[in-house]
Amino acid sequence: MTSADELALLRADVDDLTAAIEYLTSANLGGTGEGDLTVPSRWSWRHADPRTVAQLWEELISWVNWLVPRYELTGEAAPIAPCWYRHPVAVEELTALMASWQAAYQGRPETPRDDLIAWHDRWLWPTIDRLQARAGWRGCIDHKQHQDRILRSWDPDPDMAATVAGWTGPPRDTAV
């Protein structure tokens, strides 16, 4: 191996390490919050403040606008309705899919790995298939425009709090 080859390998190692540091910094791994289970994920809509909501929308819309034409998700077999952003299940699932794509595709740019095919096999196609049944956009696709759905109201059982307050542990076997 020549010194030029060694230099090239060292350069590749430095690039990999630099990318790893950038990934760890951007993902907030190893810094404040990592390992602290009280700190919500930045992809959590439930916990997002207005600024994070705006960032999430910008990021997700951009990603979906790339995903749909790239994977030709406009055909009959696996359509993503243009009104996907009006469907909460789709927003949550596509956000999760985007986060898994980022985990697969970002960082370690020079390292061959199977995350990329695993993302397609485990996450992309199962999510797209699942959305056809779960997103609630069949009527929108059929009518070629968003259709508001009529959902049943759902309220927590009013007896729940009092009932669980009386539960002090798992049921005991009193037969012994």
**Closest separation between CB of residue 61 and Zn ion, Å?**
15
In whole angstroms, what is the distance from residue 88 CA to residue 96 CA? Answer: 12
Burial call 57-84: b when 16+ CB within 10 Å, e when fewer:
eebbeebbeebbeeeebeeeeebbbbeb
Cβ atoms of 45 and 91 within 8 Å: the answer is: yes
**Closest separation between CB of residue 88 and Zn ion, Å?**
11
In whole angstroms, what is the distance from residue 6 CA to residue 32 CA? Answer: 37
**Closest separation between CB of residue 75 and Zn ion, Å?**
18
How far is residue 25 from each of residues 18, 31, 48, 87, 137, measured CA to CA in Å?
Answer: 11, 8, 20, 32, 37
CB closer to Zn ion out of 40 and 139: 139
* Only segment of 19-27, 68-76, 134-142, 159-167 that touches Zn ion (CB under 5 A): 134-142
**Closest separation between CB of residue 13 and Zn ion, Å?**
49
**Closest separation between CB of residue 27 and Zn ion, Å?**
32
Under rule CB under 5 A, residue 134 binds Zn ion: no
CB closer to Zn ion out of 23 and 85: 85
In whole angstroms, what is the distance from residue 85 CA to residue 88 CA? Answer: 7
Count the site residues for Zn ion by CB under 5 A. Answer: 5
Under rule CB under 5 A, residue 83 binds Zn ion: yes
Question: Can you tell me which residue has the tokens 């996907």?
Answer: 84
The interface with Zn ion within residues 21-60 (CB under 5 A) comprises none
Q: What three-state secondary structure class fits 40?
A: coil
Q: Which of 73, 91, 104, 140 binds Zn ion (CB under 5 A)?
A: 140
Under rule CB under 5 A, residue 146 binds Zn ion: yes
The interface with Zn ion within residues 84-123 (CB under 5 A) comprises 86
Contact residues for Zn ion (CB under 5 A)?
83, 86, 137, 140, 146
